[in-house]
Amino acid sequence: MIGTNTPIFLEIWIVSASSLLIVCECQSAACFFSSPLRVIMPTERKHREEIVHYGRMLHDRGFVAAMDGNLSVRLERDRILVTPTCVSKGAMRAPDMVIVDSDGQKVAGRRNVTSEIGMHLLIYRMRPDVQAIVHAHPPTATGFAAAGIPLTEPLVCEVVMGLGCIPLARYGTPGTSELVQTLEPYVPSYDAILMSNHGVVAYGDTLEHAYMKMETVEHFAQIALVTHLLGRQQPLKEVEIEKLLLARTKYFGAKIAAAMPFPRSPQKVS
């Protein structure tokens, strides 16, 4: 007879070739099988742990607050592993993640999927090379987004090399098709986008690279802010940008396609 201590089996994780981790909810130490189980393969387990790790890093660095932000990784067979809604990114556990199909319908997981899944699906659909996405609200970069200022001036050689421009998409209500439409023009050519009055989305071939691009955006925003406070910017010259773009192709190949605008004369920022 099933009582109050009956376990609810959620998932089986393959920990090694000889051991399994059974994820269940119960009060009793004596557990028995009472429902179908889903086996978590090693690759998916690794992605779940990575999402937990980088979610905690986002939270620790102040790139998200409360339950803000979301992360995802592309799995096989048109499946997306994504963070759930209403969970702090600093307090997630690996079993909290949700799997959705290419239409955003949940196919596995206990929790509800993030309301901003449409943004992730758009990027995966338009960029077959992208395998992971990070969305957050880093304070300085989000401040630029709220001020309506893109991060497109070639001020720092490392940013030109490693990321390129960070354009500004117009405002779209989070969790709606409106937001997706505002991002669509920028997704093919850029690896990070400021979203007006909202935050930043960055993406790459791994979750680590997507997270690093988010860090680069915020670091560059802090540098750009200093130039605004000093009242002067001195962008790299056209010939210098061309050399950096050539070096970028050498070191990164075609993975970073974002064009850089050629600079105007050094200007005083009002």
Residues designated catalytic = 116
What values do phi and psi take at 229, rounded to 5?
-70, -35
User: Three-class SS of residue 79?
Assistant: coil
Cα-to-chain-centroid distance, residue 250: 26
Give the number of residues written for the chain: 270
How many other CB atoms sit within 10 Å of the CB of residue 157?
A: 14
Q: CB–CB of 231/266 below 8 Å?
A: no
Q: CB–CB of 235/184 below 8 Å?
A: no
Q: CB–CB of 69/86 below 8 Å?
A: no
The residue with tokens 């117009």 is 170
DSSP character at residue 89: T
What values do phi and psi take at 221, rounded to 5?
-60, -40
How many other CB atoms sit within 10 Å of the CB of residue 173?
A: 10
Q: Is the dihedral of CA 33, 35, 38, 40 positive or negative?
A: negative
Q: CB–CB of 189/268 below 8 Å?
A: no
